[in-house]
Amino acid sequence: MKTPVGHLFLASSIALALSFGAVQTAFAHAHPKTETPAAGSTVDTSTKEVAIDFDEGLEPSFSSIVVTGATGKPVNDGRSTVAQSDDRHMVAALQPLSVGIYTVAWVAVAKDGHRTQGHYTFTVK
Ligand SMILES: [Cu+2]
């Protein structure tokens, strides 16, 4: 790699590697794969938690689930947590639920620092 051609080859290899890395990073945003209870579903008052499985690992300190009832008050029983054994799995334990519509608002920060967020509702009957 002492010739100018060698250096040029090395430089372009690095540039190629970096651009591949950038492409992969751009797709590392975390999106929900499975929501329990499912978005738009109806469940009963025995529901004790909301769990979301994401397609990428999450940063526990910056990711959250907040569940609110009709009054807008959170019904989370404490903070949501990212499972230690599976950083794609985030759970929020719930206070006992009464009949009504609940909104789940989630924030997911992937390992690359990119943030996604969304919300959906489910009904307790
Ligand atoms: Cu990303």
pLDDT digits (tens, 9 = 90+) for 72-88: 999 999 999 999 999 99
Ligand 1 centroid vs 16 CA: distance in angstroms? Answer: 19
CA-to-CA distance for 95 and 6, rounded, in angstroms?
65
Q: For residue 5, give the H/E element and its range.
A: helix 4-26
Ligand 1 centroid vs 47 CA: distance in angstroms? Answer: 32
Domains of the chain (ranges plus CATH)?
29-124 (2.60.40.1220)
Residue 93 near residue 67 (C-beta atoms within 8 A): no
10 Å CB burial of residue 99 (0-12, 13-18, 19+) is exposed
Ligand 1 centroid vs 75 CA: distance in angstroms? Answer: 30
Ligand 1 centroid vs 28 CA: distance in angstroms? Answer: 4
Task: Calculate mean pLDDT across residues 25-50.
Answer: 92
Q: Which of the pair, 26 or 62, is modelled with greater confidence?
A: 62
